[in-house]
């Protein structure tokens, strides 16, 4: 059997960047994935001539010029700017929270009026340092927006009460006192024309790839092929859940092709922020690339409970899970010739640009040591 310098477990973005960097530095790599395709959650496929983001909307955004130049060396990006709408019981609001939202919610037309409205809705608990997502949200945007656009969505998304969730989750979203519906504050943003899969394929071009293969089905065999392992799966699974199972939230995606309907919702992303609609958002994929096709493809995203054996999409980074992760991290640091990286192995709510940044940094370290 052929020998490799590196075995990479997981052909997602982290694994692919590492494989690319190692192989262009003369290392011989094999990359395996339990799914039947490369790309992990950034995987896109062509359905009825439309690029479909199979695992939910993926918009590339970053402030890191180096990372932006790096991804642009693999694909051309378009000028897409994410501006989702929120549908609350049939009424539409702009996101993220900005002057358009404040006008739609309260009829206020100036930043001063908007700030006064928010101030008047802060409770005593939210005046001090917010202790949870609910307090943080009310302190940022007031009670009305919290109840209409945040509480229902958040509790569906995470399967927990907003008071049980960490405050940082809602700070992902900008709050602006300008009429600006751009969901991100980052300097660079776009969608790779033709999707993410071609980028990943380019990154993995020089590596041997084995799909439909779970590393744990024969860990000993896979380890025997290479000197060093890069592991990008769930960290708790690697250690056979010896300290317990980390909390994750999972998703179910329901995709439909709508024949002879060229424009279903007029926007790539519409969030459903009430508690009763079982899905959190509907993606209409063609709008990521300004498509003019006769048909359209939509995906409804349903949050579901995680159990071992199904895909974990979101780490739940509350104090309890973070403590548990730290114990696994200590074990990970004791492993010889095994390195852990990416959203699942580092148990972090990473965006794509952060994954690339970490993968580049870590690869430089491997290369200087090996």
Angle between helices 111-120 and 133-145 (to 10 degrees): 120
Q: Of residues 198-237, which lie at the interface with ligand FAD (CB under 6 A)?
A: 214-216, 232-233
Q: Which residue pairs from 128-131 have beta carbons closer than 8 angstroms and sit at least 24 positions apart in sequence? A: 130/167, 131/167
* 350 counts as binding ligand FAD under rule CB under 6 A: yes
The region of 69-77, 149-157, 283-291, 340-348 touching ligand UDP under the rule CB under 6 A is 149-157
Nearest to 33 by CA among 163, 267, 211, 273: 211
* 150 counts as binding ligand UDP under rule CB under 6 A: yes
The region of 11-19, 96-104, 257-265, 323-331 touching ligand FAD under the rule CB under 6 A is 11-19
For 205, list phi and psi in degrees, rounded to 5: -50, -40
Least Cβ distance, residue 249 to ligand UDP (angstroms)? 9
Least Cβ distance, residue 88 to ligand FAD (angstroms)? 21
Nearest to 302 by CA among 245, 249, 248: 249
Q: Looking at the chain, which runs of residues are DSSP E strands?
A: 4-9, 29-32, 44-47, 50-53, 60-62, 85-88, 91-94, 188-190, 208-210, 226-231, 248-258, 269-272, 281-284, 296-305, 314-315, 338-340
Least Cβ distance, residue 345 to ligand UDP (angstroms)? 18
- Which stretch of DSSP H or E encloses residue 360? helix 352-369
* 34 counts as binding ligand FAD under rule CB under 6 A: yes
What is the three-class DSSP state of 352? helix
* 40 counts as binding ligand FAD under rule CB under 6 A: yes
Least Cβ distance, residue 318 to ligand FAD (angstroms)? 18
- Cα dihedral 129, 248, 84, 78 sign: positive
What is the three-class DSSP state of 236? helix
Q: Of residues 255-274, which lie at the interface with ligand UDP (CB under 6 A)?
A: 271, 273
* 228 counts as binding ligand UDP under rule CB under 6 A: no
Query: What Cα–Cα distance (Å) separates residue 93 from each residue in 121, 206, 305?
Result: 19, 47, 28
Least Cβ distance, residue 182 to ligand UDP (angstroms)? 13
* 306 counts as binding ligand UDP under rule CB under 6 A: no
Q: Of residues 30-89, which lie at the interface with ligand UDP (CB under 6 A)?
A: 86
Tell me how far the alpha carbon of residue 129 is from its chain's centroid: 27
Least Cβ distance, residue 34 to ligand FAD (angstroms)? 4
* Nearer to ligand UDP among residue 46 and residue 92 (C-beta): 92
d(CA 307, CA 247): 9
Least Cβ distance, residue 156 to ligand UDP (angstroms)? 9
| Contact of residue 233 among ligand FAD, ligand UDP, none (CB under 5-8 Å per partner type) | ligand FAD
Among 7, 30, 31, 95, binds ligand UDP (CB under 6 A): 95
| Contact of residue 154 among ligand UDP, ligand FAD, none (CB under 5-8 Å per partner type) | ligand UDP
Least Cβ distance, residue 41 to ligand FAD (angstroms)? 4
- Cα dihedral 116, 122, 126, 127 sign: positive
Among 114, 167, 170, 230, binds ligand UDP (CB under 6 A): 170
* 98 counts as binding ligand UDP under rule CB under 6 A: no
Q: Which residues contribute to the site for ligand FAD (CB under 6 A)?
A: 9-15, 32-35, 40-42, 55-60, 214-216, 232-233, 251, 313, 342-344, 350-353, 355
């Amino acid at each position: 059997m052929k020998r490799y310098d590196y075995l990479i477990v997981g052909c997602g973005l982290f694994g692919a960047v590492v494989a690319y960097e190692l192989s262009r530095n003369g290392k011989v790599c094999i990359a395996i994935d339990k799914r039947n395709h490369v790309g992990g959650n950034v995987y896109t496929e062509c359905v009825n001539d439309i690029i479909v983001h199979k695992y939910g909307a993926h918009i590339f955004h970053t402030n890191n010029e180096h990372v932006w130049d790096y991804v642009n060396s693999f694909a051309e990006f378009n000028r897409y700017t994410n501006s989702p709408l929120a549908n609350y019981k049939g009424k539409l609001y702009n996101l993220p929270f900005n002057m358009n939202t404040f006008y739609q919610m309260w009829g206020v037309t100036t930043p001063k009026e908007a700030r006064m409205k928010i101030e008047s809705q802060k409770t005593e608990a939210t005046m001090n340092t917010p202790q949870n997502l609910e307090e943080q949200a009310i302190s940022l945007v007031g009670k009305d927006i919290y109840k209409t656009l945040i509480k229902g969505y958040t509790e569906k998304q995470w399967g927990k009460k907003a008071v049980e969730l960490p405050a940082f989750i809602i700070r992902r979203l900008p709050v602006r006192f300008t009429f600006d519906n751009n969901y991100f504050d980052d300097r660079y943003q776009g969608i790779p024309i033709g999707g993410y899969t071609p980028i990943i394929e380019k990154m993995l071009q020089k590596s041997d790839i084995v799909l439909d293969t779970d590393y744990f089905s024969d860990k000993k065999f896979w380890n025997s092929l290479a000197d060093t392992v890069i592991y990008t799966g769930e960290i708790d699974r690697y250690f056979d859940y010896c300290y317990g199972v980390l909390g994750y939230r999972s998703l179910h995606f329901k995709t439909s092709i709508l024949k002879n309907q060229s424009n279903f919702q007029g926007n790539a992303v519409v969030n459903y922020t009430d508690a009763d609609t079982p899905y959190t958002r509907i993606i209409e994929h063609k709008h990521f690339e300004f498509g003019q096709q006769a048909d359209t493809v939509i995906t409804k995203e349903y949050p579901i409970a995680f159990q071992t054996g199904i895909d974990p999409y979101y780490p739940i980074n509350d104090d309890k899970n973070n403590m548990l992760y730290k114990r696994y991290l200590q074990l990970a640091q004791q492993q010889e010739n095994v390195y852990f990286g990416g959203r699942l192995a580092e148990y972090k709510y990473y965006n794509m640009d952060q994954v690339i940044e970490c993968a580049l940094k870590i690869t430089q370290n491997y290369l200087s040591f090996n």
